[in-house]
Amino acid sequence: MTAEAPVLSVVAAQRRTVRVLVLTQAVGAVGITIGIATASLLASDLSGSEAQSGLAQTAQVLGAAVISFLLAPLMARRGRRTGLMTGYLVGACGGVLAVVAGVVGSMLVLLVGAVLLGAGTAANSAARYAATDLATDETRARSLSLVVWATTIGAVAGPNLTGPAGAFADAVDIPELTGPFALGAMGMLLAAVVVGLLLRPDPLLLAQQLEGEADVAAGRAPRVAGGRSSWARATAAIGDRPILGYAIAALALAHATMVGVMVMTPLHMKHGGSDLEVIGIVISVHVLGMFAFSPLVGMLADRVGRPPVLGAGGVTLLAALLLCASAPTGMSWQVTAGLFLLGVGWSLVMVSASTLVAEHAPIEARTDVQGTSDLVMGLTAAVAGALAGVIVDLADYPALALASLVLVVGVLGASARAALETTRRTA
């Protein structure tokens, strides 16, 4: 075998990995997002209280955060394929439980199902990192961004399938609001099948093998993860490589900013007399900003570097919040442009900071760091969503946007520190 042959085989494996993950992400995202539009309605129906309508979504967010962390050591031992399959299968079980909850009229069963549904979200989040396992430094951000971009398909198609899902529910004689969860479970089951059959070779296991062979060839001792727990390994790696901490902080703060403002926008518009169709258009514009331009963001991050793109994301979020703070109630160009830029800023931070996490996490603790990153990001978003409601209740939507500027200052600070750390490491 020539010296070029192993390189070519790795390149081929990387291309196959990205193609499979794009397909999986699209299918899985449909399964995840299809139930979002009706989760609050089903929770309100089962609990008999509008005050509890957001509990199902909160449970799903928390479930995604915790399960992301739990999947990390499984992936480290068994590879990406096993971890992603597990996430999608558990998520499918959550969808089935949500259907059961609607049939038997149990809010408790719905909340348990929502937590398990979070596993599907966790798998979709982990897929972006799987795209980087075999990527080169020159293409890592691009590979990650393509998988993030594939979420657009599910984000757009999922909510639009709510109507047909309701018709399906009527056809099989289950409550109409459970139809989206039934189809969502099928989507996540299909994603698990795609991963199980097509994600071969496993990118993480192959990357670990290549790193081990390189260590042997260089006469280095095999790298063994320190610490008895995933958390210990992750914190040790972050302590050794501060740039990981800056990247994770930027991810968490940007995600919290996006979630906090986004979840309160429909209420702000409704108070001004906007109907659901108009609100849906604004949210669709926001989702477009989040995902549609991801490949361009990835190309930019590969060309000019991760920290500059991270900083651009912070500036974009800043502009978005100022627009939202100036938006009158109801439909306005300010809230539309603000939500679009909120999505674009989130995308800039998500792609660049996730790439920093992917390329600086040591191979022996890679999944531990990535799982910890998603855990912190999810928990921060859950807190932000809860506090956003309190701020709007005590003050108003513009006050929420202005208060969120504090988080964006943190993003800008993290990007500056990441830039300094990158300069120091390359000096």
Report the pLDDT averaged over residues 85-114: 95
Report the pLDDT averaged over residues 20-36: 85
Share of the chain above pLDDT 70, in %: 94
Report the pLDDT averaged over residues 275-280: 75
Of 333, 201, 233, whose CA–CA distance to 278 is shortest? 333
Q: Select the CATH number that applies to the domain covering 1-223 from these four: 1.20.1440.230, 3.30.460.80, 1.10.10.10, 1.20.1250.20.
A: 1.20.1250.20
CATH 1.20.1250.20 positions along the chain are 1-223, 232-427
Q: Is the pLDDT of residue 78 over 90?
A: yes
3-class DSSP state of 2: coil
Q: Which CATH class is domain 232-427?
A: mainly alpha
Report the pLDDT averaged over residues 227-252: 93
Q: What is the pLDDT of residue 1?
A: 41
**Alpha-carbon span 215 to 360, nearest angstrom:** 17
Q: What is the pLDDT of residue 75?
A: 96
Residue type, 421: E
Q: What is the pLDDT of residue 45?
A: 85
**Phi/psi class of residue 393: alpha, beta or left (left: φ > 0; alpha: ψ in -120 to 50)?**
alpha
Cis peptide bond prior to 203, omega within 30° of 0: no
Q: Is the pLDDT of residue 5 over 50?
A: no
Q: Is the pLDDT of residue 406 over 70?
A: yes
Pair 96, 113: CB distance under 8 Å: yes
Q: Is the pLDDT of residue 219 over 60?
A: yes
Query: In angstroms, what is the C-alpha Rg of the chain?
Result: 21
What is the secondary structure of 47-108 as a DSSP string? HT-GGGTTHHHHHHHHHHHHHHHHHHHHHHHH-HHHHHHHHHHHHHHHHHHHHHHHHHT-HH
Q: Is the pLDDT of residue 151 over 90?
A: no
Q: How buried is residue 259: exposed, middle or buried, by Cβ count under 10 Å (0-12/13-18/19+)? A: buried
Q: What is the pLDDT of residue 4?
A: 43
Among 231-240, 295-304, 354-363, 381-390, the range scoring the smallest mean pLDDT is 381-390
Q: What is the pLDDT of residue 15?
A: 95
What are the residues whose beta carbons fall under 8 Å from the beta carbon of 329, sequence distance 6 or more?
268, 269, 271, 272, 273, 397
Q: Is the pLDDT of residue 380 over 50?
A: yes
What is the secondary structure of 235-277 as a DSSP string? HHHHHH-HHHHHHHHHHHHHHHHHHHHHHHHHHHHHHTT--HH
Q: Which residue has the higher pLDDT, 243 or 53?
A: 243
